[in-house]
Amino acid sequence: MLAATSSTIRCSLRRFIHSGSASPPSTSAALELIRSQPSRYIVATLGGRKHILTPRDLLTVPRIRDVKVGDVVALSAIHELGSREYTLRGNPTIPASTGVSVHATVVEHTKGAMEFILKKKRRKGYQKLIQHKQPFTRLRIGDIEFSSELDSTTVHSQA
Amino acid sequence: MQPVPLFRARLASAPANGHVAFIPQIRKLVFEYCNDWPSSANTRTFLQRELIPFARDNPHVEIVVKQRNRKEPVVRGYYVNGRDKVIALNKLEVTGIQKKLQLLLDASGLKIKPLKRRTVESTTEAARGIWSGLHAERPQL
């Protein structure tokens, strides 16, 4: 999740409702199309799994040990940024040079409910009851930020 | 043209702690200890040695120390949602007490519930929209 890997980006946008497909010339044109729609989502890897995330939602992953409550972390593995009709997909992730960035705030470190696991081998007199509480970290996803450079200047805007 | 009615319930916002501003959910820690009994010995050591640096490291928490003689040592954490967590300290060493305090600081006051299936809790509507059979293209075989 936190490792940086070189990745390329495929600007493949498809309009699902209308016929034909849009192939914008550049990433910034693709981001403009996505920004034109009312809401958007990302697909990001966190805790070894992919999740579909929108701003303001609460993500629960297995405990991340090197963050504290209140820390703001940047999601480094964003696979997809999409809106209702357009999707921008990376190969495998959208590189940071495109300007797409999402941050998450660590809200708490908790444990789940107690699980009782019974281990038994029959006719051998072996049985034991394991009590286990899985530790979790909960993160609040922030706004999806991306800039589409219309000129040489970068216009940073919140989504 | 009729003005659009403004419904009062629609003006309330859904809570999203941490989205823009993060508010720590723990607000108070109350330490209860006995002055004489040996079950409180480790708690007394912690209160004498470690409590003041701990309070300095966590300025957002109100810390109260109560002497309760002839009772077992306990720490109560009070949270912003009105709930509290109580942890007994009588069988813990000083490092164990520190770990339990870290658990109280890290937690929100929510009731412990199974979290393995509860991955994403979202109040946002789906960005891609909800599929409807009546409005989709008919598949051609």
Pairing of strands B26-33, B62-67: parallel
Percent of chain B clearing pLDDT 90 (strictly above):
82
**List of chain A residues whose C-beta atoms are within 8 Å of the C-beta of residue B118:** 60
Among A142, A140, A138, which residue's Cα sits nearest to residue A61? A138
pLDDT in the model for residue B136: 86
Q: Which residues pair with A41 in a beta bridge?
A: A82
**List of chain A residues whose C-beta atoms are within 8 Å of the C-beta of residue B125:** 39
Q: Is the pLDDT of residue A64 over 50?
A: yes
pLDDT in the model for residue A2: 36
Among B115, B92, B56, B52, which residue's Cα sits nearest to residue A62? B115
Q: Is the pLDDT of residue B19 over 50?
A: yes
pLDDT in the model for residue A50: 97
pTM of the model: 0.84
Q: Is the pLDDT of residue A155 over 50?
A: no
Instruction: Say which range, A77-86, A106-115, B1-10, B80-89, has the weakest mean pLDDT.
Output: B1-10
More confident residue, A25 or B89: B89
pLDDT in the model for residue A150: 52
Among A41, A76, A43, A74, which residue's Cα sits nearest to residue A55? A41
Report CA dihedral (B64, B65, B67, B72) to the nearest 10 degrees.
Answer: 100
Mean pLDDT, rounded, of chain A: 85
pLDDT in the model for residue A9: 61
* Nearest-CB residue to B17 (from A54, A84, A140): A140
Q: How far apart are CA B55 and CA B58, in angstroms?
A: 5
Average pLDDT of span A71-96: 94
Cβ of A84 within 8 Å of Cβ of B129? The answer is yes
Q: Is the pLDDT of residue A142 over 50?
A: yes
pLDDT in the model for residue B1: 75
pLDDT band at A11 (very low <50, low <70, confident <90, very high): low
Q: Is the pLDDT of residue A18 over 90?
A: no
Q: Which residues pair with A104 in a beta bridge?
A: A73, A141
pLDDT band at A10 (very low <50, low <70, confident <90, very high): low
The two tokens of residue A120 are 């038994």
Q: How far apart are CA B19 and CA A105, in angstroms?
A: 7
What's the gap in Å between the CA of A119 and the closest CA on chain B?
21
Cβ of B122 within 8 Å of Cβ of A105? The answer is no
Mean pLDDT, rounded, of chain B: 94
End-to-end CA distance of chain A: 23
**List of chain B residues whose C-beta atoms are within 8 Å of the C-beta of residue A113:** 112-115
Q: Is the pLDDT of residue B40 over 70?
A: yes
Q: Is the pLDDT of residue A154 over 50?
A: no
pLDDT in the model for residue A153: 41
Cβ of B125 within 8 Å of Cβ of A55? The answer is no
CA of A103: which chain B residue's CA is closest? B19
